[in-house]
């Protein structure tokens, strides 16, 4: 039966496909696709782990003291029975051989399926066996951990999966959409190389990092759809309307036809925009506008160049640090990654932001900041995290400085608020240069920039401009911290308002002060890629926008139609209104 669910529209377009559910209760296992050639080996990993658990339980049973309660022996019997359960074994095999899920993903997916059946059982005793199944699955997962399960399999790095890698049966050409309670930014990176046509999650806000990565992949996505992962079942047909923020489950043929039509319209619009790729971004009154790309990985520069970005305005370096079980990239690995990005941009400037770990970007999916900190967004995040570990920060700074010998590099520092933080950062950069001098290693010049993303920074612009060559306004966090709205919390998403007068005035003041002092300023938060904001930002004097490459052409279209001279007075009126959104 058709039903619809509402969430937040975070990445435009329409996706129609069958649901792939990522087991929400075990979001901490790795999810990736294995090559066709590795399917047997993956099935073998589960088999080996299952045999090991069987042996373990048999041994436990054998060694039970004579006076052990009878229930304990019976329970171990149940566990042994579950380990031989045909539905579990064949289901897991099916997910691996037909869908090419990695072993852990296959196991947790099959667990979720069987667990649902347990939930529906009338018999209380049988219903309670779900907990036993869970324990058995946990044991197998624990055993598999030691059997070499790379978080990100090398085989897939840098290439897209082919459809034959994914599906071998008659569903071969059916697009797949991913449905999950939540997807960690690290998992999103893995999915970046897969064939998913769309994403839907129960939680998350418009500028949560999961939403940002979905947008950077230019794949339709809806987040904050509450109980989507419970109501949608594996293999259900789902329409993801990334423009309206709606999920339609099990659509009727008429609805399918309507959305098929919308999807084609969207594709036509994209083709039209594609013609602007080589058109310079100049307004009607001759103002040159820089449209730069936000990237997460060096490979993203390919898309950035392709879409006509004139540089990288924000390389979120933290994505090099995430999902590695705490093993941070060393200087050489970072240097090579930054150099790859610089070379990928073919002489265009690259702004590398120092690591912004913390809050909704934990180092690992296992270490959710929320579990250890009361207010992770206000905690040890970004530059605070870097300054708390000078050797780690110096490693990154040396890598960036060395990479700067290969092209134009700007070094951008996130989340600064205090003069003391600025002083410490600048002195660590000097120290990193001195270390390179001592080792006789070559490095290049960098322009130094600060993110303006905490209201305190936006209120201290003169002080910031004494230390920095340029500023970049991180509107995602500036909105979060100005309005006290957690950007990742869907329950307050309606209050996360980029057009709040307080936010707009901080943005306007930053642009104006940089203009007075003749220093470059950009916006690199999601506001820069939001076409409904382009005219206002141009009217406020912004000449440099950095956004996910998928938005560049749509923003360019707005730029080509704008006359900044005419927008200036209107923009002032907007920011001084109590309800600017009504004037936009």
Task: Tell me how far apart the alpha carbons of residues 206 and 526 are, in angstroms, rounded to a whole number.
Answer: 9
In the complex, the smallest distance separating the C-beta of residue 316 from ligand PEP, rounded to whole angstroms, is 5
In the complex, the smallest distance separating the C-beta of residue 359 from ligand PEP, rounded to whole angstroms, is 8
In the complex, the smallest distance separating the C-beta of residue 332 from ligand PEP, rounded to whole angstroms, is 25
- Annotated active-site residue 209? The verdict is yes
In the complex, the smallest distance separating the C-beta of residue 10 from ligand PEP, rounded to whole angstroms, is 13
The single residue among 104, 187, 356, 497 that binds ligand PEP, judged by CB under 6 A, is 356
Q: Are 136 and 57 in contact (CB under 8 A)?
A: no
Residues contacting residue 466 through CB under 8 Å, at least 6 positions apart: none
489 contributes a contact to ligand PEP by CB under 6 A: no
Taking contact as CB under 6 A, which single stretch among the options 140-148, 366-374, 475-483, 507-515 is the one that binds ligand PEP?
A: 475-483
Q: Which helix (H) or strand (E) holds 42?
A: helix 39-62
308 contributes a contact to ligand PEP by CB under 6 A: no
Q: Which residue in the block uniquely carries the two structure tokens 């047909």?
A: 237
CA-atom Rg of the chain in angstroms: 26
- DSSP β-ladder status, 198-201 and 290-295: unpaired
The single residue among 525, 529, 539, 580 that binds ligand PEP, judged by CB under 6 A, is 525
The single residue among 297, 524, 540, 574 that binds ligand PEP, judged by CB under 6 A, is 524
Q: Which among 452, 416, 411 is positioned nearest to 433, based on CA atoms?
A: 411
- Annotated active-site residue 499? The verdict is no
Q: Are 384 and 393 in contact (CB under 8 A)?
A: no
Task: Tell me how far apart the alpha carbons of residues 182 and 187 are, in angstroms, rounded to a whole number.
Answer: 10
Report helix, strand and coil shares of the chain as percent, to nearest 5. Answer: 55, 15, 35
477 contributes a contact to ligand PEP by CB under 6 A: yes
Span 309-348, contacts to ligand PEP by CB under 6 A: 314, 316
Task: Tell me how far apart the alpha carbons of residues 157 and 153 are, in angstroms, rounded to a whole number.
Answer: 7
Closer Cβ to ligand PEP, 524 or 574, answer by number: 524
198 interacts with, out of ligand PEP, Mg ion, none, CB within 5 to 8 A per kind: none
Q: Are 536 and 503 in contact (CB under 8 A)?
A: no
476 contributes a contact to ligand PEP by CB under 6 A: yes
276 interacts with, out of ligand PEP, Mg ion, none, CB within 5 to 8 A per kind: none
Closer Cβ to ligand PEP, 348 or 383, answer by number: 383
Residues that bind Mg ion (CB under 5 A): 453, 474, 477
In the complex, the smallest distance separating the C-beta of residue 472 from Mg ion, rounded to whole angstroms, is 10
Closer Cβ to ligand PEP, 5 or 413, answer by number: 413
550 interacts with, out of ligand PEP, Mg ion, none, CB within 5 to 8 A per kind: none
Q: What angle do CA 506, 509, 513 make, to 5 degrees?
A: 145
91 contributes a contact to ligand PEP by CB under 6 A: no
Q: Which residue in the block uniquely carries the two structure tokens 């690199």?
A: 524
CA torsion angle 96 100 106 109 (round to 10): -120
In the complex, the smallest distance separating the C-beta of residue 526 from ligand PEP, rounded to whole angstroms, is 7
Closer Cβ to Mg ion, 14 or 478, answer by number: 478
316 interacts with, out of Mg ion, ligand PEP, none, CB within 5 to 8 A per kind: ligand PEP
DSSP assignment of 441-510, as one string?
A: -----EEEEEEE-SHHHHT-HHHHHHH-SEEEE-HHHHHHHHHT--TT-GGGGGG--TT-HHHHHHHHHH
Of 209, 499, 500, 544, which residue is the catalytic one? 209
210 contributes a contact to ligand PEP by CB under 6 A: no
Task: Tell me how far apart the alpha carbons of residues 474 and 453 are, in angstroms, rounded to a whole number.
Answer: 5
Closer Cβ to ligand PEP, 94 or 349, answer by number: 349
Of 156, 181, 500, 524, which residue is the catalytic one? 524
Taking contact as CB under 6 A, which single stretch among the options 19-27, 59-67, 93-101, 468-476 is the one that binds ligand PEP?
A: 468-476
Q: How many CB atoms lie within 10 A of CB 285?
A: 11
Alpha helices in 351-459 (DSSP H): 369-372, 382-387, 390-403, 419-439, 455-458
395 contributes a contact to ligand PEP by CB under 6 A: no
Taking contact as CB under 6 A, which single stretch among the options 15-23, 232-240, 429-437, 471-479 is the one that binds ligand PEP?
A: 471-479
Task: Tell me how far apart the alpha carbons of residues 3 and 205 are, in angstroms, rounded to a whole number.
Answer: 23
386 contributes a contact to ligand PEP by CB under 6 A: no
Give the active site residues.
209, 524
Interacting residues toward ligand PEP by CB under 6 A? 314, 316, 356, 453, 474-477, 524-525
């Amino acid at each position: 039966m058709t039903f619809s669910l509402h969430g937040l529209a975070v990445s435009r377009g329409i996706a129609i496909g069958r649901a792939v559910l990522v087991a929400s209760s075990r979001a901490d296992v790795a999810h990736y696709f294995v090559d066709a050639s590795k399917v047997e080996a993956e099935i073998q990993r589960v088999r080996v782990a299952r045999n090991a658990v069987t042996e373990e339980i048999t041994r436990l049973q054998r060694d039970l003291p004579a006076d052990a309660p009878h229930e304990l022996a019976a329970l171990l019997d149940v566990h042994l029975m579950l380990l031989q359960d045909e539905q579990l074994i064949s289901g897991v095999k099916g997910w691996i051989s037909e869908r090419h899920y990695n072993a852990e993903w296959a196991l947790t997916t099959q667990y979720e399926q069987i667990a649902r059946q347990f939930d529906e059982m009338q018999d209380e005793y049988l219903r309670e066996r779900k907990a036993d199944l869970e324990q058995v699955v946990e044991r197998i997962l624990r055993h598999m951990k030691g059997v070499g399960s790379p978080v990100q399999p090398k085989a897939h790095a840098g290439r897209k999966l082919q459809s034959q890698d994914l599906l071998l049966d008659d569903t071969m050409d059916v697009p797949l959409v991913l449905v999950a309670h939540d997807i960690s930014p690290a998992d999103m990176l893995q999915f970046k190389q897969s064939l998913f046509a769309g994403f839907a999650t129960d939680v998350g806000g418009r500028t949560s990092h999961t939403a940002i990565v979905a947008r950077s992949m230019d794949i339709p996505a809806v987040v904050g759809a509450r109980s989507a992962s419970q109501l949608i079942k594996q293999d259900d047909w789902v329409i993801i309307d990334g423009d309206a923020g709606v999920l339609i489950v099990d659509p009727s043929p008429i609805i399918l036809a309507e959305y098929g039509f919308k999807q084609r319209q969207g594709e036509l619009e994209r083709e039209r925009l594609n013609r602007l790729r080589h058109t310079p971004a100049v307004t009607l009154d001759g103002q040159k506008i820089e449209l730069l790309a936000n990237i997460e990985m060096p490979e993203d520069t390919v898309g950035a160049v392709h879409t006509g970005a004139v540089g990288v305005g924000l390389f979120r370096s933290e994505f090099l640090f995430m999902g590695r079980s705490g093993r941070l990239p060393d200087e050489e690995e970072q240097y090579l990654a930054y150099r790859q990005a610089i070379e990928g941009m073919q002489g265009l400037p690259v702004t590398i932001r120092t690591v912004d770990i913390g809050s909704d970007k934990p180092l690992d999916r296992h270490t959710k900041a929320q579990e250890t900190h009361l207010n992770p967004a206000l905690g040890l995040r970004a530059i605070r995290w870097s300054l708390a570990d000078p050797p780690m920060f110096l490693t990154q700074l040396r890598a960036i400085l060395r990479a700067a010998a290969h092209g134009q590099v700007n070094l951008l520092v996130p989340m600064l608020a205090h003069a003391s933080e600025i002083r410490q950062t600048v002195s660590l950069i000097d120290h990193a240069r001195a270390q390179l001098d001592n080792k006789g290693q070559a490095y290049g010049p960098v322009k130094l920039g600060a993110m303006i993303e905490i209201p305190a920074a936006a209120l201290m612009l003169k002080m910031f401009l004494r230390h920095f060559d340029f500023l970049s306004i991180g509107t995602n966090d500036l909105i979060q911290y100005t309005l006290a709205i957690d950007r990742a919390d869907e329950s307050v998403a309606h209050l996360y308002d980029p057009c709040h007068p307080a936010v707009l005035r901080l943005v306007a003041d930053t642009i104006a002060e940089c203009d007075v002092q003749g220093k470059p300023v950009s916006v690199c938060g999601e506001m820069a890629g939001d076409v409904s904001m382009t005219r206002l930002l141009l009217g406020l004097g912004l000449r440099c926008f950095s956004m996910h490459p998928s938005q560049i052409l749509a923003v360019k279209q707005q730029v080509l139609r704008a006359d900044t001279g005419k927008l200036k007075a209107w923009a002032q009126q907007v920011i001084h209104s109590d309800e600017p959104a009504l004037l936009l």
